[in-house]
Amino acid sequence: GRTVEYWLSAEEHPCAPDGYSRTCMTFNGTIPGPTIIANWGDNIKIHVTNNMVSNGTAIHWHGVHQRNTVLADGVPGVTQCPIAPGQSMTYEFRATQYGSSWYHSHFSLQYSEGLFGGMIFHGPATDNYDEDLGTLLLQDWSHIETFNRWNVAKLGRAPTLESSLINGTNTFNCAGSTDPKCIGGGKKFEMAFTPGTKYLLRLVNVAIDGVFQFSIDGHSLTVIGADFVPIRPYTTSSLQITIGQRYDVIVTALPSPSSPSYWLRGGWISRCAPNANIASITAIVRYNTSDTADPTTTSTVTPSTHCLDEPLASTIPHLPLDVTNIPPPNLLLENLNFTTASSFFQWTINSSSLVLDWKSPTMDHIFRNESLFPTPYNVVPIGRSSPDAPTEWAVLIIQDVGTINLAHPIHLHGHDFWVLAQATGRWDGTTNSFNTRNPTRRDVATLPGGGYLAMAFQLDNPGAWLVHCHIAWHASQGLSLEFVEDQGEIVGRVPEGERSQFERVCEGWRGHTPV
């Protein structure tokens, strides 16, 4: 197939995306970075150069399965060493799925500083829409560099965030402020609509800890995809979207609009991030592009009162999957909790936190054929019963046993998963409540606060893969588990050139002296 190529430069810049100045991390100078666009089946080559002063980095292509290309997954401490300042690395992988997503730094809190961009893989042509408006990236935004808030997060309180961005822009009200950093001059993101036209919008939540309820005043949304998975279209007035999730929606512009412009609302849900107090996350849809006034429309959407996912399970029999005859060969129960036993706050899974060794990532140990991993914590071997076994499944149940009643967006690398159960309270230890007829398939699902999430995935991709909470603070506080899938088959799938790049990047990082 075709090869598409991109060049990304990770940089640090002064910025004021909403009119409040601070320092950002960017790809090629902008937030978001350039959108990666490819066709289903394309080979994708992305050359990343780290032009930051002292930070290492590594870039993850969220939701991409990385079949036979585990070294391109971009997880420092697992699939690579961080790329040292001044050095480059080429990520090469295939678009084996289609739909919408994002790419982001997987190094500590860097994506919260601006190191992310949209990603679109065009699938089979459809006549569902007239125009593709591309990705709409929704996020909360901190006025203080998130690394400077790490000490607060470490003590267990999610820091209060001040603002929000849609596609990297918003306005923050500086009226009456004496803060010299509040310079004003931000703007709302705008889209122009022509009456009757059908637009495709690709919603992505790229937040630190915000959950959103997306809507456009006066318009309905026809949902055709969730994460990288096509679904049977259904129509709704709003969509709840947690961190890392995506929805492809078709919006038909009103044939005869009664207003020159309409508010598009990110709809931040306060209960899902109790300490946040962010400014309104809105953008503008204009029918009359010579009009510059703010819309005067109001929302008729009922604000969500829960932190759960869209109930797709009952509505998406697009590609029904009957998994009734599939026994759960690996029923893993992992208990999620938190501890303050060490000097700071950590999330735990089965009593330990994932600790990654950036100088000696898991793949390094796999190349050396070592059975001992750098981190004894939360590294779980899984795999098929034999290399030629037919489809086999892993079933992972994460039970929240903590006393903090907080929903967690759980993301799995290297696979989609089928949501067999997602409920509050304790799992009863049986598969009686599992939906095995036509469950939702995606790559991020919400673990309800105090509840459990049962995820099934096919053991079809040997590699080293994370499953983690996508709340940026929590991922950095160890709320993560690592699977080493079919360890004996991993090395044979890595092309020679990729292994030498892996070694080169690690040598660069080991030789790098922090400034």
Tokens of 103: 């790419």
CB 224 within 8 A of CB 249: yes
Nearer to ligand C2O, 201 or 481 (CB): 481
Of 22, 94, 384, 468, the one binding ligand C2O (CB under 6 A) is 468
Nearer to ligand C2O, 470 or 474 (CB): 470
Nearer to ligand C2O, 107 or 199 (CB): 107
Nearer to ligand C2O, 106 or 202 (CB): 106
Q: Measured between alpha carbons, how far is 363 from 79 in angstroms, rounded to an integer?
A: 5
Can you give the C-alpha Rg of the chain in angstroms? 22
Minimum CB distance to ligand C2O, residue 487 (Å):
20
Minimum CB distance to ligand C2O, residue 246 (Å):
11
CB 57 within 8 A of CB 16: no
Nearer to ligand C2O, 323 or 356 (CB): 356
Distance of CA 404 to the CA centre of its chain: 23
Closest CA to 206 of 135, 116, 301, 294: 116
Of 19, 31, 58, 60, the one binding ligand C2O (CB under 6 A) is 60
Residues 6+ apart with CB under 8 A from 22: 14, 15, 16, 143, 144, 145, 181
Of 149, 202, 413, 512, the one binding ligand C2O (CB under 6 A) is 413
Nearer to ligand C2O, 22 or 468 (CB): 468
Give, in order, the Cα–Cα distances in Å from 253 to each of 186, 218, 258, 285, 383. Answer: 27, 10, 12, 10, 49
Q: Residues 94-123: x/- map of binding to ligand C2O (CB under 6 A)?
A: ----------x-x-----------------
Report which DSSP code applies to 230. Answer: E
3 state SS of 449: coil
Taken as a whole, the chain contains a residue count of 515
Nearer to ligand C2O, 240 or 476 (CB): 476
Of 20, 42, 62, 141, the one binding ligand C2O (CB under 6 A) is 62
Q: Which of residues 215-244 bind ligand C2O (CB under 6 A)?
A: 244
3 state SS of 219: coil
Helix (H) or strand (E) holding 502: helix 496-510
Neighbours of 236 (CB within 10 A): 17
Q: Measured between alpha carbons, how far is 410 from 443 in angstroms, rounded to an integer?
A: 8
Nearer to ligand C2O, 73 or 364 (CB): 73
Nearer to ligand C2O, 60 or 415 (CB): 60
Q: Measured between alpha carbons, how far is 502 from 492 in angstroms, rounded to an integer?
A: 15
Q: Which of residues 469-498 bind ligand C2O (CB under 6 A)?
A: 470
Minimum CB distance to ligand C2O, residue 468 (Å):
6
Using CB under 6 A, which of the segments 9-17, 81-89, 463-471, 496-504 binds ligand C2O? 463-471
Using CB under 6 A, which of the segments 193-201, 299-307, 464-472, 498-506 binds ligand C2O? 464-472
Nearer to ligand C2O, 219 or 411 (CB): 411
Closest CA to 36 of 98, 97, 110, 121: 121
Using CB under 6 A, which of the segments 29-37, 38-46, 322-330, 462-470 binds ligand C2O? 462-470
Q: Residues 2-41: x/- map of binding to ligand C2O (CB under 6 A)?
A: ----------------------------------------
Tokens of 84: 């040292």
- Three-state secondary structure readout of 110-166: HHHHCCEEEEEEECCCCCCCCEEEEEEEEEEECCCCHHHHHHHHHCCCCCCCCEEEE
Minimum CB distance to ligand C2O, residue 63 (Å):
8
Closest CA to 332 of 452, 464, 435: 452
Using CB under 6 A, which of the segments 315-323, 369-377, 433-441, 465-473 binds ligand C2O? 465-473
Count, residues near ligand C2O per rule CB under 6 A = 10
Give, in order, the Cα–Cα distances in Å from 284 to each of 50, 200, 214, 288, 400. Answer: 35, 16, 13, 11, 39
Q: Does 466 bind ligand C2O (CB under 6 A)?
A: yes
Using CB under 6 A, which of the segments 2-10, 191-199, 377-385, 466-474 binds ligand C2O? 466-474
Q: Measured between alpha carbons, how far is 249 from 241 in angstroms, rounded to an integer?
A: 12
Minimum CB distance to ligand C2O, residue 126 (Å):
27
Q: Does 246 bind ligand C2O (CB under 6 A)?
A: no
Of 411, 415, 441, 512, the one binding ligand C2O (CB under 6 A) is 411
**Residue with nearest beta carbon to ligand C2O:** 62
Q: Does 406 bind ligand C2O (CB under 6 A)?
A: no
Nearer to ligand C2O, 62 or 65 (CB): 62
Nearer to ligand C2O, 112 or 163 (CB): 112
CB 497 within 8 A of CB 72: no
Q: Which residues bind ligand C2O (CB under 6 A)?
A: 60, 62, 104, 106, 244, 411, 413, 466, 468, 470
